[in-house]
Structure 1
Amino acid sequence: MVEELTQATVPLPLKRAVVQAAVEQAGFAILPLLGRGLHDFAMEPTHLALTAGRSAPSMLVRWQRLERYIHSKHRIQWLLLSPTSANVNHIHKDNGPAPLAAEDLLVCGVLCALLEANGLHSVRAIAAGIELYPKPDSHQVLQCVQQGQTATWLLTWQGGLDNASDLDLTVSWAQVAPPTWSRFAFAAGDHVARCLPDIVSVDDAAAALAMSRRTLQRTLAAENLSHQHIKSEVRFRLAGWYLLESAIPIAEIGFICGYSDQSHLTREFNRRVGVPPARYRDLFYST
């Protein structure tokens, strides 16, 4: 079991077994607090990717992207988002069976811990008027569970933005960028790398490079490039770099490099180098 829990993705039955064991030992109120364990993984790639935006909206968007990446049946959606709060629902993506109350509480706690990891403070979570984080009362949380009111949260926080990110994909991008690209093309790729795992639109790229959309497209076309080509090249080259220069699990590499899911990463490597990522690592991993 220990080995399974250290993998990039954990089977749902195993996660539910671990959650059930926690509830049996300490009650439902312990579940939101388990998210604080994420602080022990502050330098792990997925943690860094989720905190690189240094803001609540960015973190929530990245969390939703992670849910899609791992094909989670349970998703968060926010009903209202302000500079200091968010109303969030935890639902089944296809209107199927709702998440269990324990799963609601656990995810709520993880999001609170990630808000803290993004440099925000005084983070709180309330469900139906009952505090879930940071100081849950065991009797009140149990009441919340019994009344079926654990799936909608009011998250609040305080604090400004710190745009510094510990995840600097531009370091490895500088090592793997095509040597034939111009300084302009490199800069376009550099911006894409800095924003990963977020996907940069052509309009965002143009704004970052202080030019119009049409000027960006025209300038890249002069080098037989396009914004889509830049994005694909950045993703592929960075994924290759991480496969060969790190021991990061392949599922995590796909996420932090901006692929929609692991199948997307696998298809790209099969198309471009003729082997899947795992085989590519086996063949060429730096020892």
Structure 2
Amino acid sequence: MNARKAEDFASAAMVRALLQGMANLGLRLPEVAEKLTQATVPLDLKRAVVQAAVEQAGFAVLPLLGRGLHDLAMEPTHLALTAGRSATSMLVRWQRLERYIHSEHRIQWLLLTPTSAKVSHTHKDKGPAPLAVEDLVVCGVLCALLEANGLYSVRATVADIELYPNPDSNQVLQCVQQGQTDTWLLTWQGIQDKRDNLDLTVSWAQVAPSTWSRFAFAVGDHVARCFPELVSVDVAASALEMSRRTFQRTLAAENLSYQKIQYEVRFRLAGCYLLESDIPIAEIGFVCAYSDQAHLTRDFNRRVGVTPARYRDLFSAA
């Protein structure tokens, strides 16, 4: 595999899902579990996991590894990627995760309809393209996430060859040999499960400012439930069945703004996760809609006077 810069990273949550997928398929796991304690891992570590799967079961197994996500449904990152309960929301959240971990590889959709998406997997700066094995893995993970968001009959094809859910070993090998693995057609059918959104914000009621009105609390609750997306004021106003102008004037009457509520919700939930869980700090930053871990650190230094790690050390009950 080609050498990459030392700062190239992959999501540790994604690697955990791949390992779980390997376990579900009865494959031998590489010994990397002790290296998955942070939100990100070196790209080479993810590639070692993928290579171990290929050596045991061939290229066609790679799109199936993402199914390991279904056994990790209560992990914070998994919840963040499935809380929107729609294909569009999931793709947007995945792009945010790519930016958050400063991944060199990004997805973009070339076409998006209510039941399909044409998605490409490229280098963010027109640098070296992702490897074929990485294309296949990401394709499978996105398919599994579509399923986790309540969609069904999820299917992925490339050049009329099926990658998910029933890949043929010879056909997938042909795709790899011909360099046709980087653009996929994902299709699905509508919401299978009409459950309310998975609740990522069980702690919001515990940390919301006691001086906020019921309306301000409701706005904050909507903000929290949309994390890690920072939805626009227009989207929030529509969700509460108000015009943008009425929405903003109602907040202004309480000396609040929508931006201030976003900042407060993000900070308070991050503090709760720091004190009440052992979630890696960088992962908390993603779940709570910070742009990266440095952003989380700056916010805590400014508002508390200590870093998130020091805050956890000083005040955690654990």
User: TM-score of the superposition, structure 2-length normalised?
Assistant: 0.87
Between the aligned partners of 1:263 and 1:197, the Cα distance in structure 2 is: 16
The equivalent residue for 1:114 is 145
The equivalent residue for 1:214 is 245
| Contact 2:66/2:140 (<8 A) preserved | yes
Q: Work out whether 1:147 is the aligned partner of 2:178.
A: yes
The equivalent residue for 1:195 is 226
Quick one: higher RCO (CA 8 Å, sep 6+), 1 or 2? Answer: 1
The equivalent residue for 2:104 is 73
> Kindly tell me: are residues 143 and 72 of structure 1, through their superposed partners in 2, closer, same or farther at Cα, counting changes over 3 Å?
same
The equivalent residue for 1:234 is 265
Between the aligned partners of 1:198 and 1:90, the Cα distance in structure 2 is: 21
Q: What residue identity is the alignment partner of 1:247? A: D
Deviation (angstroms), 1:211: 2.3
The equivalent residue for 1:166 is 198
Where structure 1 has 5 or more consecutive residues not aligned to the other structure, the ranges are none
Aligned residue pairs total 286
Where structure 2 has 5 or more consecutive residues not aligned to the other structure, the ranges are 1-31
Runs of 4+ in 1 over 6 A off after TM superposition: none
**Residues 235-244 or 171-180, more deviating:** 171-180
**Residues 40-49 or 199-208, more deviating:** 199-208
Between the aligned partners of 1:138 and 1:6, the Cα distance in structure 2 is: 34
The equivalent residue for 1:281 is 312
1:6-85 counterparts in 2 under 5 A? 6-85=37-116
Q: What residue identity is the alignment partner of 1:124? A: R
Deviation (angstroms), 1:167: 2.4
Between the aligned partners of 2:160 and 2:134, the Cα distance in structure 1 is: 19
What RMSD over aligned residues (CA atoms) do the two structures have, in Å?
1.3
Between the aligned partners of 1:209 and 1:130, the Cα distance in structure 2 is: 44
Deviation (angstroms), 1:209: 2.5
User: TM-score of the superposition, structure 1-length normalised?
Assistant: 0.96
| Contact 1:123/1:134 (<8 A) preserved | yes
Which residue, 95, 103, 114 being the options, matches 2:126?
95
Deviation (angstroms), 1:6: 4.9
Deviation (angstroms), 1:40: 1.1
Q: What residue identity is the alignment partner of 1:37? A: G
Q: Work out whether 1:157 is the aligned partner of 2:210.
A: no
| Contact 1:176/1:237 (<8 A) preserved | yes
1:245-264 counterparts in 2 under 5 A? 245-264=276-295
Q: What whole-Å deviation, never above 9, does each CA across 1:205-264 have from its counterpart, x for those lacking one?
A: 222223222222222222221111000000000000111011111122111111111111
| Contact 2:79/2:200 (<8 A) preserved | no
Q: What residue identity is the alignment partner of 1:272? A: R
**Residues 45-54 or 186-195, more deviating:** 186-195
